[in-house]
Amino acid sequence: QAQLVESGGGLVQAGGSLRLSCAASGIIFGFNDMGWFRQAPGKKREMVATITSGDSTNYADSVKGRFTISRDNAKNTVYLQMNSLKPEDTGVYYCNANGLGRDYRHLEVWGQGTLVTVSS
């Protein structure tokens, strides 16, 4: 069964840093595009950063220059390094996988989310 498990969220002061991790299982990790999305209270879920199976990255304008997405295919894990955090970065951060499951069928999977709170 495909599963994504996020970790690394927490409370941090503005200007601080956090690193989120997302461990994947039940998918062919190297054949999946991975992404981080977030949802702030009362707002829609939005894309934060994505990384393709070929390591191409894309960032929301609001996080460019502050956040870095990376992946370790040997560990089936994707990371989000968040620096210079701002209160508006507060929200639940979700990991997403879009690609092939172990049965070689297409699937899309979401993690359960990890809460990031940035205090001013």
Residues 46 and 2: their CA atoms lie apart, in Å, by 22
Mean pLDDT in residue range 97-102: 94
Asked whether the CA dihedral 48, 19, 108, 74 is positive or negative, the reply is positive
> Both ends of the chain: CA-CA distance in Å?
40
Kindly give the residue spans of alpha helices, DSSP state H, lying in 10-113. Answer: none
Task: Say what the pLDDT of residue 99 is.
Answer: 93
Task: Say what the pLDDT of residue 3 is.
Answer: 96
| pLDDT tens track for 38-79 | 999 899 999 999 999 999 999 999 999 999 999 999 999 999
